[in-house]
Chain A
Amino acid sequence: MSSLNLPWHSFEPFPRILSLDPREKSSAPPSRCPFEWASEQLDRSKCKIIAETPLSSSLSFLLQAEIFQEFDVQEDSVTFRINLSVLLDCLTVFGTSALPGTPTALRMCYRGYSYPLMLFLEEGGVVTVCKINTQEPDELLDFDFCSTNVVNKVILQSEGLREAFAELDMTSEVLQITMSPDKPYFRLSTFGNAGSAHLDYPRDSDLMEAFHCNQTQTNRYKISLLKPSTKALALSCEVSIRTDTRGFLSLQYMIRNEDGQICFVEYYCCPDEDIAEAEL
């Protein structure tokens, strides 16, 4: 990775600095993202970008401090709200297709409340400076997804799910997930115009990395809410699927970047209660 040297510029020193190859950052949230705004939450060990759809789901992108060459947060935690599509446009200012050997270096600085987020990107001696205005963070949804409340958990290799998700019947309004210690173990069902479809994964499947189901649970989720998370699925190597006692769904995608480091995309979604009450 090239280091950032800006000989013909002098910057004020900023108290908070992160630097990394921006493509690692930009590759995970989809380039045409359905989320317009996101909150960035920084604490001493990680950088977390959280995008929400109103009240029913949230997608967050977690970068551990080790991914950055330099990572320095001086308060316990810093949170601000930012326009996500603007951020992505800025991060990919030198184009999205990286040529090998021409990395883009990124330096990100945020001085604090009411200051803009500064991005300094450099590629082949060309420097781009972005000043993105930040906003007061909205109150973030707390899904309160606690591991002690987890009822069922499976970990799948993503490749097994990718094809399945690509073929899901999108005319169905909901995706029904059944997890059970007995047959059918893990089942995805849709109810569309053309009929119902069920997709079963046996517990001894090669794709099943882990299977911990304690009781039979059947929950429905709006397929339109799940769709944005399939972009993360495409980049991930493994996905953990969990449900808790309330029927909330947690998807954790494990993404390996070019340097072999790991970052996570977490997705939370409420069950679709209208339908659940009407039909179950």
Chain B
Amino acid sequence: MWCELCQENFFDEFQMEGVAAEHNEIYLELVPENLSRALKTAQNAKAVKIKLTNKHCPCLRVAVELPSLSSSSRMVTHDIPVGVIPRRLWNDFREPSVPDFDVSIYLPVLKTMKSVVERMKNLSNSIVIEANLSGEMNLKIETDLVSVTTHFKDLGNPPWASENGCQSSAQSRDLESMAEARIDIRKLLQLLAGQQVNPTKALCNIVSKRIVHFILLHEDVSLQYFIPALA
């Protein structure tokens, strides 16, 4: 999963210094639950301050300033323990390159997709996702008891400009023929359940029988999700 935030859209003040001038980056690992718990109190906050500190161990300090009627405001401070990832491991955390996909398609309303996938999860562990270049996408499950297929149409295919030529396989493709991949249904549901709002743009790239790549764009946040195909 790859998520990108544009710093100036969120922070009034932003300052950092990486390990070295030529590698001006910091990689920290933390338990996501801790961060979400720290931000719970921030729902009606006046301001939130995030700071990398080193008290007993390296910590990301989240200081939340809550509104109050008197002149002294209340502060909630969370120290989230973090691990600093050394530079030699950075390569493991690179943004995966967009695969050379067979079909790229816009996703339907995620809420509809979520309820369909939720029911299908009750019936099967894996799901086949298939799409073509005529704006059609199908979700399929098949078990001994039942087979279910949901057909979406008129979804539209994003116009990937041939800027980098790598999408050539998609361009010479028959419009009707489906590219498909079988994936773990729980992983797909995880992605869908995580979306509180319908993103402004959601699309899905399928590399036949290898990987499904989701890109969700919402306001200034971009989220990429890769689900490998099952054998």
Q: Is the CB of B151 within 8 A of A126?
A: yes
CB of B153 within 8 Å of the partner chain: yes
Cα distance A29–B149 in the bound complex, in angstroms: 24
Q: Is the CB of B150 within 8 A of A126?
A: yes
Count of residues in A whose CB is under 8 Å from the partner chain? 22
Q: Is the CB of A131 within 8 A of B112?
A: no
What are the residues of chain A within 8 A of B120 when measuring CB–CB? 89, 93
Q: Is the CB of A126 within 8 A of B146?
A: no
Q: Is the CB of A132 within 8 A of B145?
A: yes
CB of A68 within 8 Å of the partner chain: no
What are the residues of chain B within 8 A of A90 when measuring CB–CB? 119, 146, 148
Cα distance A86–B154 in the bound complex, in angstroms: 29
Q: Is the CB of B122 within 8 A of A131?
A: no
Cα distance A129–B116 in the bound complex, in angstroms: 12
CB of A133 within 8 Å of the partner chain: yes
Cβ-neighbour of B149 out of A85, A94, A125, A129 (below 8 A): A129
B81 shortest CB reach to chain A, Å = 40
CB of A92 within 8 Å of the partner chain: yes
Interface string of A6-21 (1 = CB under 8 A from B): 0011000000000000
Cβ-neighbour of B123 out of A86, A124, A128 (below 8 A): A86
Cβ-neighbour of A8 out of B112, B115, B153 (below 8 A): B153
CB of A137 within 8 Å of the partner chain: no
Which residue of chain A lies nearest to B121 when distances are taken between CB atoms in the complex? A89
User: Which residue among B115, B119, B151 has the maximum number of chain A CB atoms within 10 Å of its CB?
Assistant: B119
CB of B108 within 8 Å of the partner chain: yes
Interface string of B82-126 (1 = CB under 8 A from A): 000000000000000000000000001001100110011011000
A26 shortest CB reach to chain B, Å = 11
Cα distance A123–B145 in the bound complex, in angstroms: 24
Q: Is the CB of A89 within 8 A of B147?
A: no
A133 shortest CB reach to chain B, Å = 6
Interface string of B169-181 (1 = CB under 8 A from A): 0000000000000
B135 shortest CB reach to chain A, Å = 11
CB of A34 within 8 Å of the partner chain: no
Q: Is the CB of B152 within 8 A of A93?
A: no
What are the residues of chain B within 8 A of A126 when measuring CB–CB? 108, 112, 116, 150-152
Q: Is the CB of A89 within 8 A of B123?
A: yes
Cα distance A132–B143 in the bound complex, in angstroms: 10
B155 shortest CB reach to chain A, Å = 10
CB of B8 within 8 Å of the partner chain: no
What are the residues of chain A within 8 A of B119 when measuring CB–CB? 89-90, 92-93
What are the residues of chain B within 8 A of A89 when measuring CB–CB? 119-120, 122-123
Taking A95-B115, A133-B144 as known contacts, 7 extra A-B pairs with beta carbons closer than 8 A to each other, sorted by chain A number, are: A89-B119, A90-B146, A95-B111, A125-B153, A125-B154, A126-B151, A129-B151
Question: What are 15 of the A-B contact pairs (CB < 8 Å)?
Answer: A8-B151, A86-B123, A89-B120, A92-B119, A93-B116, A93-B119, A124-B112, A126-B112, A126-B116, A128-B116, A128-B148, A128-B150, A129-B151, A131-B146, A133-B144
Residues of B within 8 A of A (CB): 108, 111-112, 115-116, 119-120, 122-123, 136, 144-154
What are the 7 tightest A-B residue pairs by CB atom distance, in nearest-first order? A95-B115, A128-B150, A89-B119, A127-B151, A130-B148, A131-B147, A132-B146
